[in-house]
Amino acid sequence: DTGVSQNPRHKITKRGQNVTFRCDPISEHNRLYWYRQTLGQGPEFLTYFQNEAQLEKSRLLSDRFSAERPKGSFSTLEIQRTEQGDSAMYLCASVYGRANYGYTFGSGTRLTVV
Partner 1 sequence: DAKTTQPPSMDCAEGRAANLPCNHSTISGNEYVYWYRQIHSQGPQYIIHGLKNNETNEMASLIITEDRKSSTLILPHATLRDTAVYYCIVRGESNFGNEKLTFGTGTRLTIIP
* Binding residues for partner 1 (CB under 8 A): 4, 31, 33, 35, 40-45, 48, 50, 55-56, 91, 93, 98-108
Where does residue 74 rank: exposed (0-12), middle (13-18), buried (19+ CB within 10 A)?
middle
Give the nearest distance from C-beta 16 to partner 1 in angstroms: 27
**By C-beta, is 18 or 112 nearer to partner 1?**
112
- In this structure, how many other beta carbons lie within 10 angstroms of the beta carbon of residue 105? 17
Give the nearest distance from C-beta 99 to partner 1 in angstroms: 4
**By C-beta, is 88 or 93 nearer to partner 1?**
93
**By C-beta, is 26 or 80 nearer to partner 1?**
26
**By C-beta, is 4 or 77 nearer to partner 1?**
4
Give the nearest distance from C-beta 47 to partner 1 in angstroms: 9
Per-residue DSSP letters for 72-111? GS-EEEEESS--GGG-EEEEEEEESSSGGG--EE---EEE
Beta bridge partners of 66: 78
Cβ–Cβ < 8 Å for 91, 5: no
